[in-house]
Amino acid sequence: MKQGKVDALLGIVFGDEGKGKVVDVFTPRYDVVARFAGGPNAGHTIIFEGKKFVLRSIPSGIFDEDKINVIGNGCVIAPDLFMAEAHELEAAGYNLRNRLHISKRAHLILPTHRVLDRAYEAAKGKNRVGTTGKGIGPTYSEKASRTGLRVGDILEGFDAKYAALKARHEQILRNLNYTDYDITEEERLWLQGVEYMRQFQLTDTEIELNRYLAEGKNILAEGAQGTMLDIDHGTYPFVSSSSTTTGGVCTGLGVGPSSIGEVFGIFKAYSTRVGAGPFPVELLDETGDRIREIGHEYGAVTGRNRRCGWVDLVALKYAIMVNGVTQLIMMKSDVLDGFETIRACVAYQKDGQRVTDMPYDTQGWTAVYQDLPGWQEDLTQMTAEEQFPEAFRNYIAFLEAELHTPITIISVGPDRAQTIIRNR
Ligand code: GDP
Ligand code: IMO
Ligand code: MG
């Protein structure tokens, strides 16, 4: 039998590109949807039939009752938040049991990891990362330090392991002089969440996924965050703490590189970033406010304002390179309706120097733009690319030529239905 493939669907900028929506649209084509990185720092929005869901840890393939969804070993999971998210889906009528499998090797986010996240951010002062406060950094640090707790630990002797790690965290917090916190209620829910998680299939997902591949089944790997937030390739230290790239798919699911098929890179027709860190295309003016307003660019997890700017070809080229992107997906094209001129960042400049390759440190660089004519038509009602206005077609053709990669899917609105698959 022909071996199945793992296609990767990756955010290739600063996250929030619209991964949840596209995973949901793609799910019918696959047998399995698997998350390989991140945790509840993610907020993936799915809208259909007038309903809206924001998923944090549960893969966006969950709305198709016939599919298996997997939380892979590269993920981190907070039992209390997982329970809340699962309850919401169950209340909406989705049955998760037996079709949501969680890796025993995924790491657990403890309540005290979240306190540590706040404490480390406070200690950084004006250099803070602007994390989501979900304990992501401390949990992945502990994974690397070989002191973390994993999902598999809840199956045996958990109470003692939990108490020991919590005590260690409390000691660190005392050393940091960060003692003004109370996790009593949070911990109660968290322990309830641990109990709740036991009802799910806690498995060796890497073995399971490779078995599916051997059976000829196809897997969609759902990215979280984006390449510019990747621990290796992002704008370090203003990044998240996991591998959000194609390499992360292999380590975060336990599948070999020869199993990877298509690599879909998702980006928006403009750029956003939430949290601190360099952002050469940032528009601190009316245009930036206008994009935020029209695009509803407020964080799905934290409600924070997302910083907005024009599309960044330097970042996109870099992301296409490190991920081996084979197809691009452009989201939120409709948000640019009505702009007289659209700009695209084609290079960065600093102190008279101009670069088109991503610099080691993106701090202090400003964008060099190329202007393109905008369009005045309403894209949200369009159902086929033949209906696209000429200026929008030119924008697409310009991006494809610059990026040497085809844009095969174009999104013109938040609903599942507002997705145009191009004839190629
Ligand atoms: P993710 O983290 O990559 O899954 O993206 P988020 O869900 O955090 O943010 C994307 C936001 O854009 C969500 O509110 C989506 O409902 C919305 N969205 C997705 N695609 C489109 C689109 O083509 N047009 C518009 N206007 N909104 C979109
Ligand atoms: P999705 O999957 C956008 C950002 C945070 C912060 C930095 C580190 O919805 O695209 P962390 O809590 O991970 O330690 O924060 O990364 N960040 C995201 N920004 N979308 C996300 O996920 C993000 N997950 C983390 O704002 O700047
Ligand atoms: Mg998001």
Report pLDDT digits (tens) over 222-264.
999 999 999 999 999 999 999 999 999 999 999 999 999 999 9
Distance CA 75, CA 224 (A): 10
Q: How far apart are CA 246 and CA 64, in angstroms?
A: 25
pLDDT at res. 198: 95
Q: Is 44 in the pocket of ligand 1 (CB under 6 A)?
A: yes
103 Cα–ligand 2 center, Å = 22
Q: Give 112's DSSP letter.
A: H
Measured by CA distance, the residue closest to atom 8 of ligand 1 is 16
For residue 84, pLDDT beyond 90: yes
The pLDDT value given to residue 222: 98
Query: Which among 88, 13, 96 has a CA at the least distance from the CA of 403?
Result: 13
| % of the chain residues with pLDDT over 70 | 100
Query: Ligand 2 site: residues with CB under 6 angstroms?
Result: 11, 14-16, 38, 41-44, 129-132, 134, 136-137, 224-226, 229, 240-241, 274-275
Beta bridge partners of 33: 69, 220
Is 16 one of the catalytic residues? Answer: yes
Q: Confirm or reject: Cβ of 244 under 6 Å from ligand 1.
A: no
Instruction: Assign 190 a pLDDT band (cuts: 50, 70, 90).
Output: very high
Ligand 1 atom, smallest distance to 300 CA:
8
Q: Is the pLDDT of residue 302 over 80?
A: no
Nearest by Cα to 213 from 401, 30, 402: 30
- pLDDT higher than threshold 90 for residue 362: no
Contacts of 269 (CB under 8 A, 6+ apart): 311, 330, 331, 332, 333, 335, 336, 395
Average pLDDT, the chain: 97
Strands (E), 87-218: 100-103, 107-108, 201-203
Q: Report the nearest atom of ligand 2 relative to the CA of 275.
A: 27
C-alpha 155/C-alpha 149 separation (Å) is 11
Identify the band that residue 30 occupies on the pLDDT scale cut at 50, 70 and 90: very high
pLDDT at 91 over 90: yes
pTM recorded for the entire structure: 0.97
Q: What's the gap between Cα 322 and its chain centre?
A: 16
CB 253 within 8 Å of CB 34 = yes
The β-bridge partners of 353 are 350
* Residue 163 region by backbone torsions, left for phi larger than 0, else alpha for psi between -120 and 50, else beta: alpha
Written as one letter, the residue type at 58 is I
Check residue 396 and give its pLDDT. Answer: 98
CB 144 within 8 A of CB 138: no
- Please tell me the residue having the least CA distance from ligand 2 atom 3: 15
According to DSSP, the residues that pair with 267 across neighbouring strands are 330
CA 246 to chain centre: 13
Q: Whose CA is nearest to atom 5 of ligand 2?
A: 131
Sequence letter at residue 39: G
Is the pLDDT at 303 greater than 90, yes or no?
no
Phi-psi sector, 241: left (phi>0), alpha (psi -120 to 50), beta? alpha
60-83 pLDDT, tens digit each: 999 999 999 999 999 999 999 999
* Residue 299 binned pLDDT confidence (cut-offs 50, 70, 90): confident
Q: Which ligand is nearest to the CA of 129?
A: 2
Mutational pocket test of ligand 1: of 13, 19, 21, 55, the residue with most ligand atoms within 8 Å of the beta carbon: 21
Q: Is the pLDDT of residue 11 over 90?
A: yes
Nearest CA to ligand 2 atom 23: 225
Ligand 1 site, residue 412, Cβ cutoff 6 A: yes
**277 with 271: CB under 8 angstroms?**
no
C-alpha–C-alpha distance, residues 20 and 26, integer Å: 10
pLDDT at 1 exceeding the cut of 90: no
Q: Is the pLDDT of residue 300 over 90?
A: no
DSSP 23-89: HHHHGGG-SEEEE-SB-TT--EEEEETTEEEEESSS-TTTTSTTSEEEE-TTBEE-HHHHHHHHHHH
Give, for 318, the enclosing helix (H) or strand (E): helix 313-323
- Does the pLDDT of residue 9 top 90, yes or no? yes
> Using CA positions, which residue lies closest to atom 13 of ligand 2?
240
How much distance in Å is there from the Cα of 252 to the middle of ligand 1? 24
The predicted structure's pLDDT at residue 304: 86
Band (423; pLDDT cuts 50, 70, 90): confident
Q: Which of 44, 113, 169, 233 is catalytic?
A: 44
Rounded CA-CA distance 404/406 in Å is 7
What are the structure tokens assigned to 33, written together? 């949807």
Residue 336: pLDDT over 90: yes
Cα-based distances in Å from 137 to 132, 240, 252, 389: 10, 7, 16, 45
What are the residues whose beta carbon lies below 5 Å from ligand 3 (ion)? 16, 43, 300
Cβ–Cβ under 8 Å, residues 31 and 219: yes
Ligand 3 mean position to 206 CA, how many Å? 26
Q: What percent of the chain has pLDDT over 90?
A: 96
Report how far ligand 1's centroid is from the alpha carbon of 177 (Å): 40
Contacts of 66 (CB under 8 A, 6+ apart): none
Ligand nearest to the CA of 410: 1
- Based on the number of CB atoms within 10 Å of its own CB, is 420 exposed (0-12), middle (13-18) or buried (19 or more)? buried
Nearest ligand (C-alpha, residue 114): 2
